[in-house]
Structure 1
Amino acid sequence: MAKRPRRSPQDKEPESGRKSVAGRYLYFSVFLSGGSILVMEIAAGRVLAPHFGNTLYTWTSMIGIILAALSLGYSIGGRLADRNPSTKLFFMLMLGGAGLVALVPALRGILLPTMEESLSLQSGPVFAGLLLFAAPGCVLATLTPFAVKLAARGEGSLGAVTGNLFTWSTVGSILGTFATGFVFIPFFGLNGIFLTTAGALVLTALFGLYLYGDLASLFSKRNARASTFLGVFVLATMGTGAAWLGVIPGVDKNTIWVRENMYHMIRVFERAEAGGVRVREMFLDHQPEGAMVLGDDRKFFYEYTRFLELGPLFVPHMKRAIFIGGGAFTMPKALHLMKPEVSIEVAELDAEVVDAGSRFFRLGKFPKLENLVGDGRRILRSSKEKYDFIVGDAYRGLRNIPPHLVTREFFEEARERLAPGGAFMLNLIGYRAGAGGAIYASVYRTMNEVFPEIFIYSTDPANPYTAQNILIFAFRDADPGRFRRVSEAMRRDQKFAFAARARVSPPGARLYGPVLTDDYNPVEYLIERGL
């Protein structure tokens, strides 16, 4: 009998090389699944923020939901792998996870506007996060323990394989976290991020099925029904996600510009008001930030902006001012028109808000306004200037009050930057009585520990139980004659009649509201009491 020729090492290379690639591909797959879960988690915060605020509750909910999804997914994945340790099931799970990720844009557009109306600041992020992100997070989490079962060659290698696979999954999560926060959200739309993530998972799964020789078996008689269902599901969800690519909740026929970035969703609206007046308005997430009457930069659209006229009255020799928060730049422009000799700086966190101001709110027509992009507190702390007038206008509505801008330490820093005779004006939206008055009471008591004299005005002085703009003027120095001089000036000039009627008392001693510090700062809890 003739001997069969022995295969040379060169003859075995294609087969061994294919196995080597297949082995590494499992590591790549868990790397991608780990990255996809964190891409989804970081982007989720921006998805929920326009509806429930960019608050501690939003991020706490998302972190908790994703951790719960991971825990459940790890448990399910391990059990599935023990029952059926096949690469075919592994990549079918990846396809299912991809389909669920692709559904997020549609669920976002359909569910969140309704949930915003019916759920609170606390419950909204929990239920919305569960509906949108728990299922895809759980399914994708099954892949890492499943891959451990596939890759382990015996008990002797189980520890090393487990450690290596979870390391690659975690490395993917780290990369997904930083890539989403620093690259994807600043440069791509949220719906595009979810759809691209889903597409990457689909391509990875399909190539994995081909690489392991499982692609043909999907169409066997035994697997035809499950494969057909999964294929239809993935195609349908990818198609649905693609249909929602250009759809952003809250955008209507009056929207002339919209951007989603790492800070918020910026929307610019233009509409006709009574009397033929056209108004252009900026929203950050769900909150209107400012408006401009087209053709008249001196006309105030929102009532609270009129209280800016008190600035020159309180500080008649004003030379330098700074605004913390730009919004639609209505108030910085108004102050410039009132006092063109004053040097005005605007500290705005978001460069795209500044860009919107230039493009849609005539900011370019006011070259004396110096725009400083960055966190207002950091800019104020690092400034070498002394300001006669500081305006805190970064407190975005009832739901978005930056905690670090209402603490005793912040107000101490602001007072330190005031020149002798200077004043700090804070624009807060809230209630003045009832459970909702807690945030107002806290901010007032915190400021009262720092500033020796405070005047308070309201856009709705007769109704303390309704949400309103509360304008708090705090002074660097005590002046026993200030109130008399200001009152006389208001009586002489009718343009201040609105302010004379709008002064209100400080919060009563029985109204709950703790002093806020950098160490103790339950801002979201205080806000929630009024919602």
Structure 2
Amino acid sequence: MNRILATAVVILSSAVVLVLEVAVVRLAAPYAGDTLETYTAAIGVALGAIALGAKYGGDAADRRPPLKLLGPLLVFGGGLTMLARPIVLGLGPSLTGAGPITALLLVASSIALPVALLSAVTPVVVKTQLADLDRTGSIVGRFSAWGTVGALAGTFLTGYVLIAAFPVSVVLLATGGGLIAFGGFLLLRHGLPGDRRQGPAMLAVALLGAGLLVGVRSPCDAETAYYCARVESDPDRPSGRVLVLDDLRHGYVDLDDPGHLEFGYTQWFGAAIETLAPEGGLSALHVGGGAYTLPRWLAETRPGSDSEVFEVDPAVTEMARTELGLRTGPELSVRHGDARIAITGSGTGAYDVVVGDAFGGLSVPWHLTTREFATEIHRVLRPGGVYVANIIDRGPRDFLAAEVATLATVFDHVRVIGHRDGFGSPAGGNHVIVAADDPIETGALERAVADAEEPGRLVEAGLLRHWIRDGMVLTDDHAPVDQLLTPYLT
């Protein structure tokens, strides 16, 4: 094999390994969440499979003609690459709810084998180039470098371009198909290994991978750069629509009644704003768009209000426009991008209300939970302004306590709204934190929340003081949000 072809094989196989490592996070997120554990599982499984593939690929190259191994490795690797998505879609529903184990099982079952096969390619290629033992070091180093180049190309191309531009199914179909085509070329050029049964097996894996990849229906209406997104109708309310992102119901809108708030936490948002915010039209900042429920509610219930929304995913906004009746204009503007960056462009004292409702899976993105971000929220609020934030937590409420303690370092007054059945329920759920510099009218807020369609209540003063005193203050240097939510290591 000439050097150019050998280099191309190494670059391609290494690139696809990283395509799989990045794409599997997107595949697993609807069932395991878009969490640190999911990313850790993808990295850890890929590294383990790379190590095994390199070891056994080198062993195989010493036992068999290496040129005859490359075609089968690429063809089998391509077929199994295309099978990654059907495997996750098939196993995901039954594994949902197992915490970090869900991510580990889904990642391992879907990408471990193709990554191992593709990682075996580099040592096999190196074996074909070792004609001169005096140049062993330079040959091994050169192909190791080219493999890294391929891995970098796969990483940046997938994360920056492919996932944003195409559904994951298309990305895997193209990469798997490319591997099969390249492998077929090498088979024609160098022939099969001694075992003739590999021919039908390769054909079967390639056809099965392509067929299932195309044939298995995705649960998503749209696969965005960040979410598996879909819109569901409410059987109990003909004009009601639910936006589902990954494994979480993120928003609800009534197409005929923008003043309707379906979810309990949005009703508590409304109660807090009605009770504590200044009278008349409000200027509001919404961190997270989703279904754009609160901006539309505010326009309906507080005429003259204007809202600016930070939404990280343009595809979610487009879905809200096409399926949820969103109309933007002077009274409702959208800025696409990460809220942590976008807020630096907002003026000091620009808003009466800031609403925090941004999620990746069940967790608020960690960099939107820290004291530094809270300081930015405080900066953009006018005197008398109010910050309300949605927090999902369960069990001991370690994350909720940490966020309360964090906001208490920035705001003079903090209160927490939760379900009427109390803050000790292991099941947990949504909580709304209210933060302000002006004293919070606790009695009025308690009555407003209790009168909501889904009644809530304020946390007891003693428990609130405990959270403020003992909760972890989250900072940009240390904000282990996912671990606080799933304290399985303690």
1:228 to 197, 200, 207: 200
Contact 2:358 2:364 in 1 (8 A): yes
2:316 to 332, 343, 353: 353
**1:377 Cα offset (Å):** 2.0
- Closer/same/farther in 2, CA of residues 365 and 520 from structure 1, 3 Å limit: closer
1:390 to 354, 357, 366: 354
**1:39 Cα offset (Å):** 0.6
Q: TM-score, normalised by structure 1?
A: 0.85
Contact 1:490 1:500 in 2 (8 A): no
Q: Which residue of 1 aligns with 2:224?
A: 261
Q: TM-score, normalised by structure 2?
A: 0.91
Q: Which residue of 2 aligns with 1:178?
A: 156
**1:124 Cα offset (Å):** 1.7
Q: What 5-or-longer segments of structure 1 have no aligned partner?
A: 1-18, 252-257
Residue 502 of structure 1 aligns to a residue whose secondary structure is strand
Q: Deviations over 1:315-370 (max 9, x none)?
A: 22464210101110011110111222222111111111111121122221765101
Residue 93 of structure 1 aligns to a residue whose secondary structure is helix
Q: Deviations over 1:288-312 (max 9, x none)?
A: 1111123222222212222224314
Q: Which residue of 1 aligns with 2:293?
A: 330
- Closer/same/farther in 2, CA of residues 530 and 298 from structure 1, 3 Å limit: farther
Q: Give the length in aligned residue pairs.
A: 482
Is 1:139–2:117 an aligned residue pair? yes
Is 1:456–2:444 an aligned residue pair? no
Contact 1:395 1:429 in 2 (8 A): no
Is 1:529–2:482 an aligned residue pair? no
Q: Which residue of 1 aligns with 2:25?
A: 45
**What is the alpha-carbon distance in structure 1 between the residues aligned to residue 89 and residue 233 of structure 2?**
22
Contact 2:419 2:456 in 1 (8 A): no
**What is the alpha-carbon distance in structure 2 between the residues aligned to residue 282 and residue 505 of structure 1?**
33
**What is the alpha-carbon distance in structure 1 between the residues aligned to residue 456 and residue 204 of structure 2?**
66
Counterpart residue identity of residue 316, structure 1: P
**What is the alpha-carbon distance in structure 2 between the residues aligned to residue 174 and residue 337 of structure 1?**
49
2:12 to 29, 32, 35: 32
**What is the alpha-carbon distance in structure 2 between the residues aligned to residue 300 and residue 336 of structure 1?**
13
Q: Deviations over 1:484-504 (max 9, x none)?
A: 7x63x987x899567996222
Q: Which residue of 2 aligns with 1:288?
A: 249
What does 1:49-448 correspond to in 2, within 5 Å? 49-117=29-97, 119-120=98-99, 122-211=100-189, 214-215=190-191, 223-244=195-216, 247-248=217-218, 250=219, 258-273=221-236, 277-307=238-268, 308-317=270-279, 319-364=282-327, 367-386=330-349, 387-395=351-359, 399-431=362-394, 434-435=395-396, 437-448=397-408
- Closer/same/farther in 2, CA of residues 396 and 464 from structure 1, 3 Å limit: farther
User: Identity over aligned residues, as a percent?
Assistant: 30
Residue 363 of structure 1 aligns to a residue whose secondary structure is coil
Residue 230 of structure 1 aligns to a residue whose secondary structure is helix
Most deviating of 49-58 and 161-170: 161-170
Contact 2:258 2:297 in 1 (8 A): yes
Residue 224 of structure 1 aligns to a residue whose secondary structure is coil
Most deviating of 367-376 and 27-36: 367-376
Question: What's the C-alpha RMSD, in Å, of the aligned pairs?
Answer: 2.5
- Closer/same/farther in 2, CA of residues 504 and 443 from structure 1, 3 Å limit: same
Residue 326 of structure 1 aligns to a residue whose secondary structure is coil
Counterpart residue identity of residue 233, structure 2: E
Residue 270 of structure 1 aligns to a residue whose secondary structure is strand
- Closer/same/farther in 2, CA of residues 395 and 95 from structure 1, 3 Å limit: closer
Q: Deviations over 1:179-206 (max 9, x none)?
A: 1112211121112222221110111111
Counterpart residue identity of residue 285, structure 1: D
